[in-house]
Amino acid sequence: MKQENTRIKSLVQLSKRWISVLLALLLAACLIATWACGTKALPPRLYVGDKWVYKQTSQGLDYTRTETVVNEETIEGKDCYVVNVVFTPPLQGWVGGYTEWRDKATYSPVRQRFCASVPSAGNNTMNRLIEYSDQVTGSEWPYKVGNTFTIKESRTISDVFADQYPTPMTSEQVTTFKVTNTEEIEFAFGNLTCFKTAGYQGGNDTFDYWYSEKAKAYVKHFTILENGIIDELVSYSVRFNQ
């Protein structure tokens, strides 16, 4: 039993650096999704089949990330969009994607779940559930230059790894946003008018991204983090009415 516990501990340690990359990606995506809605006006109406394809660069490697609205469900009393996120090739060789539930009323993430085998940990399976609770203050909608707002995000991470159940991890992150200007950005599929927004954590400029009302999503993102995550919209397909 002692040897088995030592083996499990070693497997968990080996997987930590891959997990940190995924967490950085999820955090960035969640902060953007939270901004892209707000609580003072209705967020964009999404429909099953809405899809966004991004080119993403992380740690010098390129991926295609596809986000698709696949369903609508009620989670913890909240009506949610169910969004399926797929990485091609798998992120860092092992994370094929995750499922996210986004609150229709706020467009903020409520829950994320993924399951994958970790090559660096003997291909043991990790199941991860992340649950979110956000508090938003300031002016968000309608979009206009000069809007500033703050998001206090609380999250709880629950893992099942190699049949072990570590104690759930909780954390908080406070980010302040400012819409600085509008820009016309050229893409292969055409031009989009976007709102450029800067995100600050601990008083430091942490990331910039550009949001398009026409695409109902962010279209370009750069984060000043250790992992240097950059992504840009390649194509999209959305509806604005039934």
pLDDT digits (tens, 9 = 90+) for 78-121: 999 999 999 999 988 888 999 999 988 777 899 999 887 776 66
Q: Give residue limits of the domains in the chain.
A: 2-237
The span from the CA of 44 to the CA of 20, in Å, is 31
Q: What backbone phi and psi angles, to 5 degrees, belong to 203?
A: 85, 0
pLDDT given at position 40: 47
What is the pTM assigned to this prediction?
Answer: 0.80
Per DSSP, what are the bridge partners of residue 65?
54, 87
Residue 163: per-residue pLDDT: 66
Residue 104: the pLDDT is 86
Residues of the chain under the 70 pLDDT cut? 1-42, 119-122, 140-141, 162-163, 165, 225-229, 242
User: What is the pLDDT at residue 162?
Assistant: 62
Q: Which of 94, 21, 104, 118 is nearest to 69 (CA)?
A: 104
Neighbours of 97 (CB within 10 A): 18
**How many other C-beta atoms lie within 10 A of the C-beta of residue 56?**
18
Q: Quick one: pLDDT at residue 144?
A: 83
Give the pLDDT confidence score for residue 207 in this predicted structure: 87
DSSP labels, 128-169: EEEEEEEEEEE--SS--TT-EEEEEEEEEEEEEETTB-PPPE
Q: What is the pLDDT of residue 18?
A: 46
Specify the pLDDT at position 8: 43
